Amino acid sequence: MQCAISRPHPNHSLTESFTHVRLRLRVSDRPSAGCYVFFLLSSDMVAVFGETAGKSALRRMRKIMLSDPVGRQILQDRPLINTTTVDIDSLGTLPDGTFGREYWQFLQDNNFSPDARRPVHYVDDVDLMYVILRYRQIHDLVHVLLDMPPNMLGEVLVKWFEGVQTGLPMCLVTAALWPYIRLGPKDRKKYHQVYFRWAVRSGWQAKFLMNVYFEKHWETDIADLRKQLNVELAPVPLRRAKKKTQQ
């Protein structure tokens, strides 16, 4: 299903609005350290930070997508991942080990819904608006590919993977700082000793996931898909833990 984005999202706030002017004064492409900390305090603020501080990265992501035939097709079709466009229940009927079944299981285990992804508010360019929306909507699919649970350590590692791939300041800053402000001593030790280097290496060597038409791979064996995308799993699987809200 195509995404017909031809004008700003109905929830979008125009750059000229007072709210957005204030945000742009507080968060530019080179925000201060104080702004970084402020925007790390909640997932809502992280989302705002991602939109207002990542325009250069979004343009680079679009350029990479345009240079790839599948990426170009995604930008042309503008597919969405939500309960209207994807029959989530049917994914649960797919054979064990398929990508779609693993995604369905991830949603069930964590009481998640693809509809929970936030709309884009502070990006004026229609194409860039879709790029960041697509990034958000495939976030849980990245968790599934990396076999990372949505606990805090898992989120940090996925953010490193995404940050290396996309260059989004929101990913890189949260990945760098969350281990020291949101991880406990045991998880921080595991992060340094086992997982950090893997997450960065995996992000560098994997195919650019924004150029993957995931909706066409629901029936693909997840092990085969990982091979196709050159996705390396963590050296030690993380203990799966449920969480109450989506990042």
**Domain locations in the chain as residue ranges:** 18-229
Query: Who's near 106: CB < 8 A, 6+ residues apart?
Result: 112, 140, 143, 144
What distance in Å separates the CA atoms of residue 15 and residue 231, rounded to the nearest whole number? 38
What distance in Å separates the CA atoms of residue 64 and residue 135, rounded to the nearest whole number? 13
- The answer to whether the annotation marks 9 as part of a ligand binding site is no
Task: Give strand pairing partners of 98.
Answer: 221
Please tell me the predicted confidence (pLDDT) of residue 16: 41
Please tell me the predicted confidence (pLDDT) of residue 117: 84
Can you list the residues of the chain whose pLDDT is less than 50? Answer: 1-29, 38-39, 241-245
Please tell me the predicted confidence (pLDDT) of residue 47: 56
- The answer to whether the annotation marks 217 as part of a ligand binding site is no
Q: Which amino acid is at 10?
A: P
pTM of the predicted protein model: 0.81
Smallest CA-to-CA distance from 54 within 148, 152, 120, 151 is with 120
Interaxial angle between packed helices 152-166 and 139-146, expressed in degrees from 0 to 180 and rounded to the nearest 10: 110
- The answer to whether the annotation marks 155 as part of a ligand binding site is yes
- The answer to whether the annotation marks 140 as part of a ligand binding site is yes
Please tell me the predicted confidence (pLDDT) of residue 9: 46
Please tell me the predicted confidence (pLDDT) of residue 120: 84
Please tell me the predicted confidence (pLDDT) of residue 123: 84
Please tell me the predicted confidence (pLDDT) of residue 21: 37
